[in-house]
Structure 1
Amino acid sequence: MNFLSKLFITAATAVAATSPAFAEDSQGKIQVKAFATLVDPSAKITKVNTDAIGLAAGSQTRADTNVTPTVAVEYFVSPNFSIETIAGVTQHDVVGAGALSGAKLISNANIIPATVTAKFHFDLGSGVKPYLGAGPSYFMIFGEDPDSTAQALGATRVDLSSEFGFALQGGVDVPLNDGGLGLSIDAKRYFMNTTARFFAGNTLALSTKHELDPWVVSAGISYRF
């Protein structure tokens, strides 16, 4: 039985056990979080599909990190089980590594990481509630351009494919007062690939598959009502 199956079985058991008492819970069902979020993707090449330019052996790529504002909205089905989605846009450049070290390849790749997670919250009895979650994600990628090195090699257009993936999540909610205000710290690990296609005019010159697998770490203020 994989992690997701165990998580949902645990969550379903918690819903059954806590739902009758939820009407008496003094906390609200909706929680909104405003985060500062660090996004640290890999962008490592895992496969070369098409190579008309003759990549050197040991050619590799990496993406830069970015800090961006994000917002999370969470609905509590019961005191211990919730569904959460996030909203935000993060922008990254891709540069060369290994034999491509110093090469500027892709600029201004914008990513919307549309994500929904199911979360189970552990009540420690002090108001502090750590949680675990998991769920599907769809990375919408747009706005990317060939950077200076890619342009010098003749690339006129680059496309990064939008793809489905999966996220694991862990974090903690800490109440700051009795009015619903709190502090939240959250970490997600995404498992996500994309395919980069470089074109010279209408000709596909290079197509490579990349492992994104970003760590997404957030901290901010929450309000539950």
Structure 2
Amino acid sequence: MRRTLTFRALALAGLLAPAALIPAHATAASADVSAGDWLLRGGLTYISPKSDNGELTPADLSVDVGSSTRPTGSVTYMFTDNLGMELLVGIPFKHDISLEGDRVGYTRLLPPTLSLQYHFNTGSAFRPYLGAGVNYTHFFDTTTRGGLSDHRLRLDDSWGVAVQAGIDIALDDNWFLNTEVRWIDIESTARLDGDRIGTVEIDPWSFGMNVGYRF
């Protein structure tokens, strides 16, 4: 719970912070987009899984998945002046895995996400948007240590919904700053030496800060 509350506080602060970085001349630029525009964004994303990630049998051990920060990028194509389609990609995230507080390994994941976005053109430097779509998470290179060092742990891939809220802030007619928050439904079946031992509910919040270019 503490981790979730701390992350939400950071996310709120992050959504407000870019406004303080805008030079005075940027207020004359408009963040409005039009049909046919492409929006490219690149930056860093912090993923914070929810606090309670489930229990694994047969001993009903509580599992905890750690947070991770990696470079990410996205591309959005605007079908209309308001509706666009975004694809999020990134460098694989690495998450520690703990049982009852003891680190027993880690996993890497790729979470490409395709979202339909609605952009609120405001005629100003600020353009908020909302999005919803589907996420596919691929787990790989899952490695064990400690109490599980002699066992093979596997996490199955996951499909789930994803929602987002963000804001683009124009620096000029092409360049802009971006900050956004996402929630992603990620649940994976865990297998130890081939046997199913439970479900790992990651369901993370993520926070991204980016630089963008419109063309």
- Is TM-score (shorter-chain normalized) higher than 0.5? yes
For 1:128, the equivalent position in structure 2 comes to 126
Superposition map of 1:46-85 within 5 A: 46=54, 48=56, 50-51=57-58, 55=59, 59-85=61-87
Gap runs ≥5 in structure 2: 1-32
For 2:168, the equivalent position in structure 1 comes to 173
For 2:114, the equivalent position in structure 1 comes to 116
Q: Work out the CA distance in 1 between the residues paired with 2:134 and 2:103.
A: 31
Q: Work out the CA distance in 2 between the residues paired with 1:117 and 1:210.
A: 24
Superposition map of 1:12-31 within 5 A: 29-31=37-39
Does the 8 Å contact 1:27/1:224 carry over to 2?
no
Gap runs ≥5 in structure 1: 1-24
For 2:143, the equivalent position in structure 1 comes to 145
* Amino acid of the structure 2 residue aligned with 1:191: D
In the TM superposition, what is the alpha-carbon distance from 1:110 to its structure 2 partner? 1.1
Superposed CA offset, 1:122-170 (max 9, x none):
122213110110001110110001122212xx42x11000011110110
SS of match in other structure, 1:149: helix
In the TM superposition, what is the alpha-carbon distance from 1:43 to its structure 2 partner? 7.3
For 2:200, the equivalent position in structure 1 comes to 210
Identity over the aligned pairs, expressed in percent? Answer: 26
Superposition map of 1:86-97 within 5 A: 86-88=88-90, 89-96=92-99
For 1:4, the equivalent position in structure 2 comes to none
State the TM-score, normalized to the length of structure 2: 0.78
- The alignment's C-alpha RMSD in Å is 2.0
Does the 8 Å contact 1:105/1:149 carry over to 2?
yes
In the TM superposition, what is the alpha-carbon distance from 1:47 to its structure 2 partner? 5.6
| Bigger Rg, structure 1 or 2 | 1
Q: Work out the CA distance in 2 between the residues paired with 1:167 and 1:26.
A: 25
For 1:196, the equivalent position in structure 2 comes to 190
Q: Work out the CA distance in 2 between the residues paired with 1:188 and 1:92.
A: 18
For residues 94 and 212 of structure 1, do their structure 2 counterparts lie closer, same or farther at Cα, with a shift above 3 Å needed? same
Q: Work out the CA distance in 2 between the residues paired with 1:219 and 1:66.
A: 14
Does the 8 Å contact 1:43/1:61 carry over to 2?
no
Q: Work out the CA distance in 2 between the residues paired with 1:26 and 1:87.
A: 23
In the TM superposition, what is the alpha-carbon distance from 1:104 to its structure 2 partner? 1.7
In the TM superposition, what is the alpha-carbon distance from 1:196 to its structure 2 partner? 1.2
The number of residues matched between the two structures is 182
* Amino acid of the structure 2 residue aligned with 1:141: F
